[in-house]
Amino acid sequence: MASRPDITSVTNTASGRSIVLVGMMGVGKSTIGKLLAGKLGLDFVDSDEQIEAAAGMPISEIFDRFGESGFRDGERRVIARLIGEGPKVIATGGGAFINDETRALIKEQCTSVWIDADLDVLVERVSRRNNRPLLVGRNPREVLTELAAKRTPCYSQADIHVRSDSGPHSRTVGQILEALA
């Protein structure tokens, strides 16, 4: 039986640094982030929710009005603000870590965790919601395949890499805690 990581040592390892979760849409960053923050006694924030609050509109409208590049610029600024507010667990949108400036900021000031999952798991999860601008009117499997091909080289630069599967998210949280310890 594997021993459980000592939360004190995990907290000390990450002390002073936010833990930023990166990965494809549907991988479970928000759910895993909430659970992880609870285990570590840190606040949790979802950068997409913070972007919507700052812009006063949903992400889909930001995309419609300003395009993906305008969204990514705002996303970078919001993530920089969140990092500057002190240690927390931050779930980012799927494309955040792809932006060179955002990735450099996260790598320099935080501990980045790439949560990865098989394509079938992602397709099943994203099919539950219809609020993902990059999927509107498109086949989720095709879009996710294209995005994974482009994004995996960037995600692979994260400090920690864990796999999520169709099992409980608490299992992925355990993997992250072990890696942090």
Whole-prediction pTM: 0.88
Give 21's strand partners: 91, 113
**Residue 112 covered by a domain:** yes
**Residue 11 covered by a domain:** no
**Residue 102 covered by a domain:** yes
**Residue 162 covered by a domain:** yes
Q: State yes or no: 29 annotated in a binding site.
A: yes
**Residue 177 covered by a domain:** no
CA neighbor of 131 nearest in space, from 13, 49, 50, 56: 49
* Tally of structural domains, the chain: 1
Q: State yes or no: 93 annotated in a binding site.
A: no
Question: How do residues 96-149 score in pLDDT, each as one tens digit?
Answer: 999 999 999 999 999 999 999 999 888 888 877 666 666 677 788 898 899 999
Q: State yes or no: 103 annotated in a binding site.
A: no
Q: State yes or no: 28 annotated in a binding site.
A: yes
Angle between helices 169-180 and 29-40 (to 10 degrees): 50
Q: State yes or no: 156 annotated in a binding site.
A: no
Q: State yes or no: 10 annotated in a binding site.
A: no
Q: State yes or no: 30 annotated in a binding site.
A: yes
Domain CATH for 23: 3.40.50.300
Question: How do residues 30-59 score in pLDDT, each as one tens digit?
Answer: 999 999 999 999 999 999 999 999 999 998
**Residue 38 covered by a domain:** yes
Q: State yes or no: 72 annotated in a binding site.
A: yes
Domain of residue 161, residue span: 16-171
**Residue 77 covered by a domain:** yes
Tokens representing residue 159 in the block: 């400090």
